[in-house]
Amino acid sequence: MERLLTVKGLTTEFRTERGIVKAVNNVSYHIDGGEILGIVGESGCGKSVSQLSLMQLVQSPPGRIVAGSAEFNGVDLLKYGRKSKEMSSIRGKDMSMIFQEPMTSLNPAMNIGKQMSEVLITHLGTTVAEAMERSADMLSQVGIPDATKRLKDYPHQFSGGMRQRVMIAMAMLCTPKLLIADEATTALDATIQAQLLELLYEIVNKYNLALTMVTHNLGVVARYADRVNVMYAGRIIETGTTKEIWANPLHPYTEGLISCVPKLGQKLEAIQGMPPALIDRPPTCPFLARCKYRQSECHKEPVAELTPVDGQHATACNVRLKEAGVA
Amino acid sequence: MSENNVVSTSSEVTSTPQTGNTIDVTNLKMYFPIRRGLLKFKVGDVKAIDDISFSIKPGETLGLVGESGCGKTTVGRCILRMYEPTSGSVVFNGRDITHDKQSQLRSVRRDMAIIFQDPYGSLDPRMSAGNTVGEPLKIHKLTKTKKEYKERVEELFILCGLNPDMSDRYPHEFSGGQRQRLSIARALAGDPSLIVCDEPISALDVSMQAQILNLLTTMKEKNNKMSYLFISHDLLAVQYISDRVVVMYLGRIVETAPSVELYANTRHPYSQALLSAQPMPDPVAEETRQRIILEGDIPTPLNPPPGCSFHPRCTKATKECSEVPPPLRDIGGEHFVACHHA
């Protein structure tokens, strides 16, 4: 499969009163066409900001992309300005994003038909009538009954699950090559969440899209993702195929994260402590303070680069890399 | 709300049977009136809880699961008498508190506590951590001297994994997980026999969730008479912590059984769908697992469907289901299910 997106050394900072927060720190990964990539981590680990950086949607100031490149379809996204024409023509057309909160991402004062047709008119220059027709068609594809009639409805007239369906339909209008779902189903009830995930999976397979799933729900990743990036304190600390990571987690954080999920008849093993503050971090491993495998050298060495151990399976743990004889 | 009181004229409400249970809830109903217009005439009811009964034994953890709007939070609030139920009875440690006045409830409240979902909204931002935890001690006059008070607060801090040096700090200086620990410390202050945990881990990160679940379990190991009502939509967490589980849908109990039995032998189509909707964190098992995907949304409790309220979304629904509401039947082994076809 062809390489769709290659991110190299992406670093995003936020200037705050207390200092510079490196929300995304030297992140490199790739995604191929038709692939589902899961990005997991806890709040503040930079999973959302890394995706917003790619879309050039990080608010600036205080945010700033300070380094890195992101080659998408042969062009470097990070070279374009936030408000550049090039970026506007990519956003929503070749790359779309679905956000967590459908109520805040949809315009409450504009009916669904108008919001959806706007996408087609701007990107593809279709006529209003054609845009409306295609919007209705897309709405029925995501399982909204009476689609033509509902185009006249406003976001508040839809339930939470239906609103998220509208978001998916809107993101799919120009058949993008890459879809980014940022905690797209987190705010929904379990049965509705299951409905939407299956729908998303169906659509992604039907159009052969690449999907980046940003989530903190390990279950969702385990079910749908082909590969996983595990993020901690702004860095990718482990990456590999979903099965490899579950069968043989290399980084102590990944191991802890997997054992944090309650399983029947097993004592729950929690990771002690809290994620570190991201202001003025020392160059050592960010997981050091919470790690149960830490060694004395860990306090001295800078954190390892993400290094492959076995094929695609890579980790940034000094101890594990040494054990594997890689570092 | 008094117009609905006529329903409960049975003797169970007036006499209080000595069951030895921490909580006995019998035929509990909680209707919220909908008022419209200038004169605020009542035009209908939201039937948040519609005739449910259950009990919690001393030392037992009862899990309460269901989706938003199913009434699980209302159940917790009725038990703590933050709401006055429309009808039915709540008996707490042998005392009927269904219609007690606020002044009468004060003595009971020492023995019950609640932990809320949102650790940001549930703590007073202008009260220091120490005072937050110690307030119940002052209100219920549980400590005699200042020294004793200070020691008890310190003890509660350590018990919940907080550093007593942090007692002068204010809630905004704590992280979400630490705030939830503060809420737990405060809940434990009065040495209660019942803690209602209303989605205590939903707002937290995965690693913090595990810490809080472990803390709750440890607290119960220390005091084996204490009971939890654990309200959550996270079935894995409920399964982990509960002895018995109640599944609710639109204000009614659809299934209840001991935790192990419920997960091994799920009978109600809704419980089956709910369990199947939960993604299991195991890529190998997920590859082959078939999921039951329910059609449609949860109906509004304003106008629930007639008969079994789940029938419009149910795969097994027949004509009977749309006409006759199924009673909660005993199918053996303390397993009850409200379905015509289970």
Contacts of A258 in chain B (CB under 8 A): 281
- B295: closest CA of chain A, how far (Å): 8
CB burial readout A177-197, b (16+ within 10 A) else e: bbbbbbbbbebbbbbbbbbbb
Residue range A190-212: mean pLDDT, rounded: 91
**Nearest CA among B190, B236, B192 for reference residue B213:** B236
Nearest CA in chain B to A276: B175
- Whether residue B17 is predicted with pLDDT greater than 70 in this model: the reply is no
Please judge whether B67 and A191 are an interchain contact, meaning their C-beta atoms are less than 8 angstroms apart. Answer: yes
CATH architecture for the domain at B2-111+192-337: 3-Layer(aba) Sandwich (3.40)
ipTM score: 0.81
pLDDT for B3 equals 44
pTM of the model: 0.85
* Gyration radius of chain A over CA positions: 21
- Contact (CB<8Å) A222/B281: yes
Task: Report which residue type is found at A54.
Answer: L
- State whether A189 and B239 contact (CB < 8 Å): no
- pLDDT value of position A327: 67
Query: Chain A partners of B298 at a C-beta cutoff of 8 Å?
Result: 189, 191-192
Q: How far is A279 from chain B (nearest CA, A)?
A: 16
Domains annotated for chain A, with CATH where assigned, are 3-225 (3.40.50.300), 253-323 (no CATH)
| 3-state SS track over chain B | CHHHHHHCCCHHHHCCCCCCCCEEEEEEEEEEEEEECCCCEEEEEEEEEEEEEEEECCCCEEEEECCCCCCHHHHHHHHCCCCCCCEEEEEECCEECCCCCHHHHHHHHCCEEEECCCCCCCCCCCCCHHHHHHHHHHHCCCCCCHHHHHHHHHHHHHHCCCCHHHHHCCHHHCCHHHHHHHHHHHHHCCCCCEEEEECCCCCCCHHHHHHHHHHHHHHHHHCCCCEEEEEECCHHHHHHHCCEEEEEECCEEEEEEEHHHHHHCCCCHHHHHHHHHCCCCCHHHHHHCCCCCCCCCCCCCCCCCCCCCCHHHCCCCCCHHHCCCCCCEECCCCCEECCCCC
Does the beta-carbon distance from B236 to A261 stay under 8 Å?
yes
Looking at the DSSP assignment, which residues form a beta bridge with residue A64? A13
Enclosing H/E stretch for A58: none
In this predicted structure, the answer to whether residue A265 has a pLDDT above a threshold of 90 is: no
* Mean pLDDT over the full length of chain B: 88
Q: Is the confidence at residue B296, as pLDDT, over 70? A: yes
Q: Residues of B near A (CB-CB distance < 8 A)?
A: 67-68, 175, 177-178, 205-211, 213-214, 217, 233, 235-237, 239-241, 263, 273-274, 276-284, 286, 291, 293-294, 297-298
Sheet containing B194-198: order of strands: B112-115, B194-198, B227-232, B61-65, B244-249, B252-258, B336-337, B329-330
B240 vs A contacts (CB less than 8 Å): 262-264, 268
Residue of B nearest to A222 (CA): B283
* pLDDT band per the 50, 70, 90 thresholds, residue B236: confident
Candidates B71, B73, B64, B65; CA nearest to B274 is: B65
pLDDT digits (tens, 9 = 90+) for A148-165: 999 999 999 888 888 999
B-chain residues within 8 Å CB-CB of A272? 211
Residue carrying the six token digits 């490199």: A28
Q: Is the pLDDT score of B12 beyond 80?
A: no
Question: Among all chains, which residue has been given the structure tokens 């191991």?
Answer: A255
Q: Is the peptide bond before A61 cis (omega within 30 degrees of 0)?
A: yes
State the best of A223, A258, A267 to mutate against chain B, taking most chain B CBs within 10 Å. Answer: A223
